Structure 1
Amino acid sequence: MKTTVEQSLRAYLDDKTANGELGPGSRLPTERALVAQLDAPRSAVRRALDTLEGEGVVTRHVGRGTFLTESARAGAEAAPPDTSPVEIMQVRLVIEPPVAMLAARLATQADLDRIVECLQAGGASSTFEDFEAWDAKLHRAIAHAAHNGLLLSMFDVMNTARTLPVWGTLKRRTSTPERRGCYHQEHEAIVGALVDRDPEKAERTMRVHLEHVADNLLGRV
């Protein structure tokens, strides 16, 4: 099986954390250095970093660099390789609607700005890969806006399961431009509720969205 740039980057980070060179909060090498280290195109390295950022493994700050998050190791180790799409959706339905309710109450303006940024980028995405990357970033930005470290760690554990091949294959097989457009409209409703500081609507619109995703992927879970 061919190793992807994303897999190579994950293996690189695993090695560096295992031997103590990197830890929570550590700054990663520059994109240029990673391009040389992984022997990969810069665009592919950037896409891999986008994916890891969406999962909460790394965080990026303009002008400062890319950093390993506090939950990176815990999340990567805690996602069982045999987790099924049904299990993923069941857990998402348990965790994400209440998280959206909390975010509507507790989000800062900076949180809302980041959420809106992810929403707009997702809406402008023209490919499956770009939309999925921004979808993951949007949902994590909402989880981050709840300002509950334990909930965020639980979210990150769940979110790593979305990187499993069985999930990606199912999402790609069921994705169409029309369906992505529908998801974007649902995202707009969720973000609108957050911006309006409406906890009940945020919880409801998130639940409706996830139930729609579950129906499209595998029928009602």
Structure 2
Amino acid sequence: MQTVEQTLRALLTEGTQDGTLRPGSKLPTERELVERLAAPRSAIRRALEILERDGVVIRHVGRGTFLTEVAVQQVDGAPADTSPAEIMQVRLLLEPQVATLAARVATQADLDRIGECLAAGGASDDFEGFESWDARLHRAIAKAAHNGLLMNMFDVLNTARALPVWGSLKRRTSSPERRRCYHEEHTAVVDALRDRDPDAAGAAMRAHLQHVSDNLLGRG
């Protein structure tokens, strides 16, 4: 049986992998963690003390508890020195094939979840909100491929997207116009998935990621 500390670490790892938590993200309050983990407040406090001692979180009196870069580095995934160019090389190799497979095997529930992520991303008018839903959308597409080994590979890739070097570059190159463009490209991918068109889904994902790569690495 997992301890409260282990359960909390697993929660942070999952958040890091699916893009909902990044270095600097504020954690839920102690009261919210008590409800979510069904654990005594004293056990939550002890777990947070251990995580703070290990450098995974930092607590500021009156402000809350925040995730550190150490948390990202401790996730069993991408090396901490992975470059944005390496990330995009792997994304271009992996994600078009993921979209191709998802177009063949996704369930209606998968497509509904993907559609929710797409709509929420399109409604986000700030960098943080769009990036969070962007990560969730790409992960939802990967889950729709229904391949556990492939999902593990994707989560390793997703940990790289939580590295500080990636986040700072994305922020510097982001703009409302580019976010609108990315949303249109996401829509093309999702439309192909809904049409059950593997070739179109793969091509749309490849075109989107190539555009992202060009913008990030100075070729766009």
Q: Does the pair score TM above 0.5?
A: yes
Partner of 1:124: 123
1:1-221 matched pairs, under 5 angstroms: 16-17=5-6, 32-34=31-33, 37=45, 76-219=75-218
Shift of 1:79: 1.5
Give, in angstroms, the shift of residue 78 of structure 1: 2.2
Residue 103 of structure 2 contacts residue 193 of structure 2 at CA under 8 Å; is this kept in 1? yes
Partner of 1:52: none
| CA RMSD after TM alignment | 3.4
Q: Distance in 2 between matches of 1:40 and 1:133?
A: 24
Alignment identity in percent? 63
Cα displacement (A) at 1:133: 0.1
Q: Which letter does structure 2 place at the counterpart of 1:191?
A: V
SS of residue in 1 equivalent to 2:79? coil
Using the alignment, how far apart are the partners of 2:122 and 2:97 within structure 1? 24
State whether residues 192 and 200 of structure 2, in contact with CA within 8 Å, keep that contact through their aligned partners in structure 1.
yes
The normalised TM-score by structure 1 is 0.70
Listed as ranges, the gaps of 5+ residues in structure 2 are 16-26, 35-43, 49-58
**Aligned residue-pair number:** 177
In structure 2, the CA distance between the partners of 1:40 and 1:106, relative to structure 1 (3 Å rule), is farther
1:10: which partner in 2? none
CA distance, structure 2, for counterparts of residue 213 and residue 103 of structure 1: 21
CA distance in 1 between counterparts of 2:90 and 2:102 reads 18
Q: Distance in 1 between matches of 2:136 and 2:10?
A: 22
1:7-45 Cα deviation digits (max 9, x unpaired): xxxxxxxx923xx88669xxx99863339856679x988
Return the alpha-carbon distance in structure 1 between the equivalents of residues 10 and 129 of structure 2.
28
Max Rg structure: 2
Alignment deviations for residues 77-114 of structure 1 (CA, whole Å, 9 cap, x no partner): 22200000000000000110000000000000000000
- CA distance in 1: counterparts of 2:28 and 2:78, whole angstroms: 28
Amino acid at match of 2:150: L
Per the normalisation by structure 2, the TM-score is 0.71
Mapped contact 2:77–2:155 kept (Cα < 8 A): no
Tell me, in whole angstroms, the C-alpha distance in 2 between the residues paired with 1:219 and 1:102.
Answer: 31
Q: Quick one: which amino acid aligns to residue 135 of structure 2?
A: A
List runs of 5+ in structure 1 lacking aligned partners: 1-14, 49-71
Alpha-carbon separation, structure 2, partners of 1:159 and 1:175: 19
The change in CA–CA distance for 1:190 and 1:21 in structure 2 (over 3 A counts) is closer
